[in-house]
Homo-oligomer: A and B are copies of this chain.
């Protein structure tokens, strides 16, 4: 069971770094997009499109970036599937975790 996995200190360090890296990547995409949308505002409706985009993004981030060890392999699997992380970024994690991550990444 994913929730029974034990994480060594070294694994936790690797996991935290990869997690933050993916989060920054995701945020950078959103920042770029909002700057673009703002530049192109022509009418009031464009304002509310930005608001919707931001609140959807915030919701998505909250759902996707869940740093509880009990769900982290699944989180990483999805991040790889979404192109926000590569398996190389997780080098050093135990094979018990990597197996689950790969399984979810290739679903």
Q: Which residues of A come within 8 Å of B, CB atoms?
A: 27, 30-31, 34-35, 37-39, 41, 44, 46-48, 50-51, 54-55, 57-58
When all copies of this chain in the complex are counted, the total is: 2
Q: Which of B31, B39, B55 contacts A55 (CB 8 A)?
A: B55
Minimal beta-carbon separation of A70 from chain B (angstroms): 25
Roughly how many angstroms separate A39 CA and B39 CA in the complex, as a whole number? 8
Contact residues in B for A27 (Cβ distance below 8 Å): 44, 47
Which residues on the B side are within 8 Å of A50 (C-beta)? 34, 50, 54
Q: Known contacts A35-B41, A47-B54, A51-B54; can you find 14 more A-B pairs with CB under 8 A? A: A31-B44, A31-B46, A31-B47, A34-B38, A34-B50, A35-B38, A35-B39, A38-B38, A38-B39, A48-B54, A48-B58, A50-B50, A51-B58, A54-B54
